[in-house]
């Protein structure tokens, strides 16, 4: 007969404690979220160093800093690292893993082991990608890997690139499935979908895009690898393949990938602005439907990247109209953010400065995006530096600024300590000036005909390239006060308390840092996560003991 041991005598697996938790196969969603965040920042600094090589080369019109092959490898690695190893894992994996269980009132993600596997696919994929530069020579065909260029460059580096991206795509799919299941199935009883914080809706929409579009990229890259290794003819024109088919398949994923990077940033900034403006989020319902509209439209706009690829007139017209329409739900969100700020008691701390700068940068990137949706203009500036400037205003001026805002906002929750505000403002100032100095001139360069992805250019473009390189240097320098701030604050930062922002969202209704299972008792039921300045009678949450607790931070 088997006798069950009492629960306090049952053997428990030994789990590393302290900082060793972040080097372990942890099932705690908070540990996994910080693993994503720390790993993402390591690759951000690698990608930033690669960007420094690019801008140093482009400071003069001749190829005099690195060889042409090396430049192509650096360019390919920079784009791949920044998209697949920095932005996507951080805005989705890091903040999604840390926050979503809190927001739905769950102890963890729906599939904790799958969650851990999703993270642990990333370090080997990143190491594989970076090491290819030193072992075989990295891929040289850019982050798009267009054939026939990707079929004629050195095969070893290109195949390693494909394998790395496949691993990262698998990680994204696992994460997307987990987020969908967690948001839809693990909500606390009594919590309705239209009472969730906006980041939940953003991650639900993002995860739908991930699950629908990422397998298309995976299949495309598998076929491309067959063309390289087995000499099949899927995309090889010499064997009857069609390179335009590759573009359709690639952009079916890679344009939604822009929203996979941007939608979570929309959700994060929607959490940050109400807290630091002390106002409810304006237009909650319209914000939700705007996210859903972006998800639907995001899947039917891919061919605006292909207006110069022989697309027929009817296709150009359809994708121009669809791309222009996607500006409508995006514009609604921006008006709602401005209305949230209007008349608020705004605290201009580091988190709010980066969030406000996001609005400015992304509006400019959105305006140039609407311009690129128009066929005549796109044909004029296609594959020029205008596109480079537009893209970086979206993914850096938008998403990366929100990442920094989020770090300043949630660092007290992660660590129990506050970041230094003067250093944070210095970081913001250097980043904002450096970013605009780097990428604003690139629009002029593109309008006047400077092609992208080249190491050599017409000398008439020298001055504005040098200005752009100075801006990149300022962005690199801006990382120093940020690193000093994080490291010093972890050890000697001012104690934050449990809720330094007097916020109403559920993650702030527990200790900072939180316990292993998030709350010591039952998860609170928060029905008004943005209830600043409204009737206190509505701001009640069900507590562990069954009593109602009014959130005093709203006084």
**CA distance to 194, 332, 453, 494, 518, per residue, from 198 (Å):** 9, 14, 38, 30, 20
- Cα 447 to chain centroid, rounded: 28
Helix ranges (DSSP H) in 195-283: 198-229, 243-277
Q: Is 9 part of any domain?
A: no
Q: Please, which residues bridge with residue 430 across strands?
A: none
Q: Which of 486, 526, 534 is nearest to 508 (CA)?
A: 526
Q: Is 430 part of any domain?
A: yes
Specify whether the CB–CB gap between 430 and 422 falls below 8 A: no
Residues 6+ apart with CB under 8 A from 113: 27
Q: Please, which residues bridge with residue 303 across strands?
A: none
How many Å apart are CA 290 and CA 284, to the nearest integer? Answer: 10
Question: Containing domain of residue 503, as a range?
Answer: 22-551
Q: What is the pLDDT along the chain (555 residues), one digit of tens a residue?
A: 343 433 333 444 556 776 677 788 899 999 999 999 999 999 999 999 999 999 999 999 999 999 999 999 999 999 999 999 999 999 999 999 999 999 999 999 999 999 999 999 999 999 999 999 999 999 999 999 999 999 999 999 999 999 999 999 999 999 999 999 999 999 999 999 999 999 999 999 999 999 999 999 999 999 999 999 999 999 999 999 999 999 999 999 999 999 999 999 999 999 999 999 999 999 999 999 999 999 999 999 999 999 999 889 999 999 999 999 999 999 999 999 999 999 999 999 999 999 999 999 999 999 999 999 999 999 999 999 999 999 999 999 999 999 999 999 999 999 999 999 999 999 999 999 999 999 999 999 999 999 999 999 999 999 999 999 999 999 999 999 999 999 999 999 999 999 999 999 999 999 999 999 999 888 999 999 999 876 655 554 544 433 333 343 333
Grouping H, G, I as helix, E, B as strand and the rest as coil, residue 363 is helix
Taking CA 32 as the corner, what is the angle to CA 184 and CA 476, rounded to the nearest 5 degrees? 115
Q: Is 8 part of any domain?
A: no
Residue-level pLDDT at 535: 60
Paired tokens of 411: 């660092």
How many Å apart are CA 236 and CA 74, to the nearest integer? Answer: 25
> What's the CATH number where 174 sits?
1.20.210.10
Q: Check whether the bond before 555 is cis (ω within 30° of 0).
A: no
Q: Torsions phi, psi of 333, nearest 5?
A: -65, -40
Q: Is 262 part of any domain?
A: yes
pLDDT digits (tens, 9 = 90+) for 301-332: 999 999 999 889 999 999 999 999 999 999 99
pLDDT digits (tens, 9 = 90+) for 237-253: 999 999 999 999 999 99
Question: Maximum distance among all alpha carbons in the chain?
Answer: 88
Would you say how long the chain is, in residues? 555
Q: Which of 533, 535, 553 is nearest to 281 (CA)?
A: 533
Residue-by-residue DSSP string for 20-85 = GGGGS----HHHHHHHHHHHHHHHHHHHHHHHHHHHHHTTSSS--SS-HHHHHHHHHHHHHIIIII
Q: Is 510 part of any domain?
A: yes
Residue-level pLDDT at 551: 42
pTM for the full model? 0.93
Q: Which of 225, 240, 199 is nearest to 101 (CA)?
A: 199
Q: Is 535 part of any domain?
A: yes
Residue-level pLDDT at 554: 38
Specify whether the CB–CB gap between 409 and 351 falls below 8 A: yes
The tally of domains found in the chain comes to 1
Specify whether the CB–CB gap between 372 and 297 falls below 8 A: no
Name the one residue in this structure whose structure tokens are 């926050």.
99
Paired tokens of 300: 């039917």
Q: Is 404 part of any domain?
A: yes
Q: Is 467 part of any domain?
A: yes
């Amino acid at each position: 007969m088997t006798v069950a041991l009492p629960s306090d005598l049952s053997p428990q697996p030994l789990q590393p404690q302290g900082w060793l938790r972040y080097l372990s196969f942890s099932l705690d969603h908070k540990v996994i979220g910080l693993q994503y965040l720390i790993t993402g920042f390591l690759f951000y600094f690698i990608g930033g160093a690669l960007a420094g090589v690019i801008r140093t080369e482009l400071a003069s019109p001749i190829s005099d800093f690195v060889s042409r092959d090396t430049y192509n490898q650096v360019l390919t690695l920079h784009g791949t690292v920044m998209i697949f190893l920095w932005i996507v894992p951080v805005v989705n994996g890091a903040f999604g893993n840390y926050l979503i269980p809190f927001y739905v009132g769950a102890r963890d993600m729906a599939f904790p082991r799958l969650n851990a596997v999703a993270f642990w696919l990333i370090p080997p994929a990143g190491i594989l990608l970076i090491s290819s530069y030193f072992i075989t020579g990295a891929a040289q065909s850019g982050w798009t890997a267009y054939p026939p260029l990707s079929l004629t460059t050195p095969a070893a580096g290109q195949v390693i690139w494909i394998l790395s991206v496949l691993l990262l795509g698998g990680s994204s799919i696992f994460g997307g499935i987990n987020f969908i299941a967690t948001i839809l199935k693990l909500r606390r009883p009594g919590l309705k979908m239209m009472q969730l914080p906006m980041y939940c809706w953003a991650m639900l929409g993002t995860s739908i895009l991930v699950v629908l579009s990422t397998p298309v990229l995976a299949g495309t890259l598998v076929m491309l690898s067959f063309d390289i290794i087995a000499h099949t003819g899927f995309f090889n024109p010499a064997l009857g393949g069609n390179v335009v088919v590759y573009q359709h398949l690639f952009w079916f994923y890679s344009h939604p990938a822009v929203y996979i990077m941007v939608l979570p940033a929309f959700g994060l900034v929607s959490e940050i602005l109400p807290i630091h403006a002390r106002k409810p989020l304006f237009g909650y319902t319209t914000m939700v439907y705007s996210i859903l509209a972006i998800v639907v439209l995001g899947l039917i706009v891919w061919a605006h990247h292909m207006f110069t690829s022989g697309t027929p007139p009817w296709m150009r017209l359809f994708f121009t109209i669809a791309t222009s329409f996607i500006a409508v739900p995006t514009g609604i969100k921006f008006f709602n953010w401005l209305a949230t700020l209007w008349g608020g008691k705004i605290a201009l701390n580091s988190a709010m400065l980066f969030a406000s700068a996001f609005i400015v940068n992304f509006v400019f990137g959105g305006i140039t995006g609407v311009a690129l949706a128009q066929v005549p203009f796109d044909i004029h500036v296609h594959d020029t530096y205008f596109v480079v400037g537009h893209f970086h205003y979206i993914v850096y001026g938008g998403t990366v600024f929100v990442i920094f805002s989020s770090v300043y906002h949630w660092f007290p929750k992660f660590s129990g300590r506050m970041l230094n505000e003067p250093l944070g403002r210095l970081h913001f100032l250097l980043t904002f000036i450096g970013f605009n100095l780097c990428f604003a001139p690139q629009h002029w360069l593109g309008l006047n005909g400077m092609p992208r992805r080249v190491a050599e250019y017409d000398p008439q473009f020298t001055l504005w390239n040098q200005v752009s390189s100075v801006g990149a240097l300022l962005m690199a320098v801006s990382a120093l006060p940020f690193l000093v701030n994080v490291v010093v604050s972890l050890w000697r930062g001012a104690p934050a308390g449990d809720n330094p922002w007097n916020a109403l969202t559920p993650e702030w209704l527990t200790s900072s840092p939180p316990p292993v299972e998030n709350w010591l008792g039952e998860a609170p039921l928060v029905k008004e996560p943005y209830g600043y300045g409204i009737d206190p009678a509505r701001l009640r949450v069900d507590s562990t003991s069954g009593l109602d607790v009014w959130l005093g931070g709203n006084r």
